[in-house]
């Protein structure tokens, strides 16, 4: 099923059981304290995506080492296996 999330809080039920460190407030958080979450939100907010791909992507992003997450490129995320959009 393809969905689109317009607000960060809409992701909560789909990422709550993931390995991603998440802020309590998805709308107001410090990207420096939650860099993995920030990358996840930037990649997925307002983009059509399959729910299963979203749930897989969150753990792929969570597994990126701390010393790499702040400089990871979109192309590197794709190489790591994230699905962007509907994957078409």
pLDDT for residue 84: 83
d(C-alpha 27, C-alpha 23), whole Å: 9
Residue 41 makes CB contacts below 8 A (sequence gap 6+) with 8, 11, 26
Kindly report, residue by residue over 3-57, the tens digit of the pLDDT.
Answer: 889 999 999 999 999 999 999 999 999 999 999 999 999 999 999 988 899 999 9
Helix crossing, 35-44 with 51-62: angle to 10°? 150
d(C-alpha 3, C-alpha 76), whole Å: 24
pLDDT for residue 85: 74
Span of 42-46, 59-63, 70-74, 84-88 with lowest mean pLDDT: 84-88
pLDDT for residue 3: 87
What residue spans of 1-88 are helical by DSSP H? 12-15, 35-44, 51-62, 66-69, 74-80
């Amino acid at each position: 099923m393809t969905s689109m999330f317009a607000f960060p809080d809409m992701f909560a039920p789909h990422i709550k059981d993931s390995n991603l460190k998440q802020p309590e407030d998805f709308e107001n958080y410090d990207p420096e304290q939650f860099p993995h979450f920030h990358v996840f939100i930037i990649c997925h907010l307002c983009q059509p995506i399959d729910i299963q791909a979203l749930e897989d992507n969150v753990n792929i992003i969570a597994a990126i080492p701390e010393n790499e997450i702040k400089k990871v490129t979109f192309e590197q995320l794709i190489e790591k296996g994230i699905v962007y959009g509907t994957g078409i």
